């Protein structure tokens, strides 16, 4: 008797939770990369862990490839289904439950939207600190699968640091409850950390126990004009000895110009400068503002900084954040080719200088917009498409640029993907950051968890 996929799925997912219409397939087959042709066989919407398990068992029997689908805000094609896969959407698994005020933990199903988790924490008088631009669409499961980072890492770390328990369905259909919300647990390999950042290739993340924390007291924002790269490092080093920085971001004058062009925000001060830093700190007591002003004066004396502004209200702080946060949207019409690389913080100036020189020499017609989370050594390199260049030609030329970028990344012992994952777009370049031995070991681990190779095949490895 031959196996028929859709009826088999419909037995598991009743109430029209198997979708095969063209719109749904197109919508759920793509993430934010937009450069692939979506072509899944079906999209299913499980409501509980047991349904996910039943699906994985079916997929094992019949060698069905599964692609997990959260908010699909990824930029590396990790959630793309273009090979007839079945997409497993977590849209119907978005319960938040079992809030524990003593442990400050809450259990999130994989489909909980990041912003909902942040709001929930706020409703409890607490704080969930991992934050990034796609907060309104991205979902907890996807955040964990890619170990999301964002704008508060310098103080609060990565998504990894907030997962105290993880429930997964492995490639063989086993349900694992990993770590159960414990802080300390020295009983063998921490499989939780193996799943974090595994991009759905070992199994499906179905639920997480997330730690919350004390809400920060009043936050102040400073924006500083920094004439030289090395000055950024000096400012960073000086500030964090004195202040509990919650963010330390960087952007170039070119990036700022794109934001100002939209007309939503004003230049923060008259001086123009090739680089700017935005730093945010917590006012724990009454002394931080004063300290910040002293640091500013010192930075000006030393010539690291030529101008600056400090927020006097939450509204002003938010307005200053716009200068940094609106960059991506402002350059979107220029179809930027994005790279998201990481190096050690000390390597930021030499890396940027080397890359600027290469790009100016090899690609003088490309405008390169720099910004990033410099407190984490994480740079977003956006190459803007010249208006006259066709999209396909532009992408093809940018893929040539990749070789230059990634060669420099390797020379500086950096990472070709700081927080966007590997997915499809970075998979050919994985060897720039990980050795052949490491990749072979990763394949061995994949084989242990997913012997049939049905979990997000073709991604990462």
- From the list 398, 327, 342, the residue with the least C-alpha distance to 365 is 398
* Pick 61 or 185: Cβ nearer its own copies: 185
Q: How far is the CB of 430 from its own copies (least distance, A)?
A: 6
* Pick 13 or 432: Cβ nearer its own copies: 432
Q: How far is the CB of 449 from its own copies (least distance, A)?
A: 7
Helix (H) / strand (E) containing 223: strand 219-226
* Pick 121 or 342: Cβ nearer its own copies: 342
Task: Provide CB contacts within 8 A for 192, sequence distance 6+.
Answer: 163, 165, 166, 178, 179
Q: What string of DSSP letters covers 303-362? A: TS-SEEEE-SSHHHHHHHHHHHHTHHHHHGGG-PEEEEEE--GGGHHHHHHHHHHHHHHH
Structure tokens given for 135: 């907060």
Q: How far is the CB of 183 from its own copies (least distance, A)?
A: 4
Q: CA-based angle 347:343:157, to the nearest 5?
A: 120
Alpha helices in 78-125 (DSSP H): 114-123
Asked whether the beta carbons of 194 and 202 are under 8 A apart, the reply is yes
* Pick 403 or 447: Cβ nearer its own copies: 447
Q: How far is the CB of 192 from its own copies (least distance, A)?
A: 9
Four-residue CA torsion sign, 72, 77, 79, 81: positive
* Pick 22 or 183: Cβ nearer its own copies: 183
Q: How far is the CB of 428 from its own copies (least distance, A)?
A: 12
- From the list 247, 137, 197, the residue with the least C-alpha distance to 419 is 197
* Pick 180 or 318: Cβ nearer its own copies: 180
* Pick 145 or 368: Cβ nearer its own copies: 145
Task: Provide CB contacts within 8 A for 81, sequence distance 6+.
Answer: 28, 29, 38, 39, 40, 67, 69, 87
* Pick 35 or 448: Cβ nearer its own copies: 448
Q: How far is the CB of 437 from its own copies (least distance, A)?
A: 5
Q: How far is the CB of 343 from its own copies (least distance, A)?
A: 7
Q: What string of DSSP letters covers 246-310? A: EEEEEEEHHHHHHHHHTTSS--SSS---SEEEEEEEE--SSSHHHHHHHHHHHHHHTTS-SEEEE
Place of tokens 């004390």: 214
Q: How far is the CB of 327 from its own copies (least distance, A)?
A: 18
């Amino acid at each position: 008797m031959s196996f028929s996929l859709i009826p088999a799925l419909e037995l598991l997912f009743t109430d029209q939770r198997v979708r095969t219409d063209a719109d749904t397939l197109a919508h759920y087959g793509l993430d934010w990369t937009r450069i692939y042709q979506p072509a899944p066989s079906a999209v299913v919407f499980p409501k509980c862990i047991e349904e996910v398990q039943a699906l994985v068992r079916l997929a094992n029997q019949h060698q069905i490839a599964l692609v997990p689908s959260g908010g699909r805000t990824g930029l590396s094609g990790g959630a793309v289904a273009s090979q007839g896969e079945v997409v497993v959407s977590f849209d119907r698994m978005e319960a938040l439950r079992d809030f524990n005020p003593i442990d400050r933990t809450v259990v999130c199903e994989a489909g909980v939207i990041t912003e909902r988790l942040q709001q929930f924490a706020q409703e409890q008088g607490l704080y969930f600190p991992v934050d990034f631009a796609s907060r309104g669409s991205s979902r907890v499961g996807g955040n964990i699968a890619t170990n999301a980072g964002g704008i508060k890492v310098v103080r609060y770390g990565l998504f990894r640091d907030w997962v105290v328990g993880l429930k997964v369905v492995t490639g063989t259909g086993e349900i694992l409850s990993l770590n159960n919300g414990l802080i300390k647990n020295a009983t063998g390999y921490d499989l939780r950390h193996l799943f974090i950042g595994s991009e759905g290739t070992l199994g499906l993340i179905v639920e997480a126990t997330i730690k919350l924390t004390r809400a920060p007291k009043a936050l102040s924002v400073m924006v500083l004009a920094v004439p030289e790269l090395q000055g950024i490092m000096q400012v960073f080093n000086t500030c964090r000895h004195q202040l509990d920085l919650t963010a330390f971001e960087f952007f170039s004058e070119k990036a700022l110009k794109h934001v100002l062009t939209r007309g939503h925000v004003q230049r923060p001060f008259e001086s123009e400068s090739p680089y700017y830093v935005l730093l945010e700190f917590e006012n724990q007591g009454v002394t931080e503002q004063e300290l910040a002003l002293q640091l500013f004066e010192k930075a000006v004396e030393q010539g690291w900084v030529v101008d600056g502004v400090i927020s006097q209200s939450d509204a002003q702080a938010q307005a200053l954040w716009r200068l940094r946060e609106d960059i991506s949207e402002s350059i979107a019409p220029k179809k930027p080719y994005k790279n998201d690389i990481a190096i050690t913080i000390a390597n930021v100036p030499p890396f940027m200088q080397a890359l600027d020189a290469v790009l100016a020499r090899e690609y003088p017609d490309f405008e390169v917009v720099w910004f990033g989370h410099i407190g984490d050594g994480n740079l977003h390199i956006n190459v803007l498409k010249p208006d006259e260049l066709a999209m396909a030609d532009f992408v093809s030329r940018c893929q040539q640029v990749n070789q230059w970028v990634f060669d420099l990344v390797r020379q500086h012992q950096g990472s070709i993907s700081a927080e966007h994952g590997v997915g499809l777009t970075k998979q050919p370049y994985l060897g720039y950051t990980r050795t052949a031995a490491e990749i072979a070991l990763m394949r061995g681990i994949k084989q242990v968890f997913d012997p049939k190779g049905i979990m997000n095949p073709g991604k990462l490895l």
